[in-house]
Amino acid sequence: MAVLILVQTFCAVFFAGDIIADAVDTGRGFLADPHLVIEALAVAALAAAIVIEARFLMQMLRRAQLAAQSLRVAAGAFWEVLEDRFASWDLSPAEREVAAFTVKGLSVAEVAALRGAAEGTVKAQLGAVYRKAGVAGRHQLVTLLIEDLLGEPLPAERAREAASGTSQRPAPPV
């Protein structure tokens, strides 16, 4: 968009120069020639468009910057929720690491390779994580963490919590 603004600015300057040159060549003011008046109006419209596009570009850049900042804040909040949950589930350091890799989307084989452990060990640690979290697998674990970020449990979890009379969920933010 910045390139477009530069090209349009060049064109506006060129056409404004052409109008001035034509007015000087004819020896009359440009208001005396209807053709020059139309050209002048076109240059004015082009200049207005350049100003509008420049403002629009600045707004877009500000919005992009705010979106990037919000994304950083959200990512930080997600990892805070993750750490809070890991602490409330009383996960061991190894279980925390395996759970974090799992939430990031790594497979059991990838987690095992990163940790230098056997796949069976990672599966056992994941089983402990799922048991302590009260979920059946990776998808439910991730869903539970996302629900914590949003502050609202899914209907199935609400029913399960109501039936058991317990809730592992911290109070939603006010």
Q: Which of 149, 154, 143 is nearest to 76 (CA)?
A: 149
Question: Are 11 and 51 contained in the same domain?
Answer: yes
What is the length of the chain? 174
29 belongs to a structural domain: yes
- Contact by Cβ (8 Å): 108, 126: yes
Question: Are 26 and 106 contained in the same domain?
Answer: no
By the 10 Å C-beta count (0-12 exposed, 13-18 middle, 19+ buried), 168 is classed as middle
Question: Are 136 and 174 contained in the same domain?
Answer: yes
79 belongs to a structural domain: no
65 belongs to a structural domain: yes
For the stretch 78-116, pLDDT in tens is 888 888 889 999 999 999 999 999 999 999 999 999 999
Question: Are 37 and 97 contained in the same domain?
Answer: no
- Residue 150 pLDDT more than 50? yes
The confidence score (pLDDT) of residue 153 equals: 58
Per the structure, the complete domain to which residue 53 belongs is given by 1-69
For the stretch 31-55, pLDDT in tens is 778 888 899 999 999 999 999 999 9
Backbone angles phi, psi at 9, to 5 degrees: -65, -45
Number of domains in the chain: 2
- Residue 129 pLDDT more than 70? yes
The confidence score (pLDDT) of residue 144 equals: 87
Question: Are 170 and 123 contained in the same domain?
Answer: yes
Distance CA 105, CA 102 (A): 5
Question: Are 93 and 174 contained in the same domain?
Answer: yes
Q: How distant is the alpha carbon of residue 141 from its chain centre?
A: 23
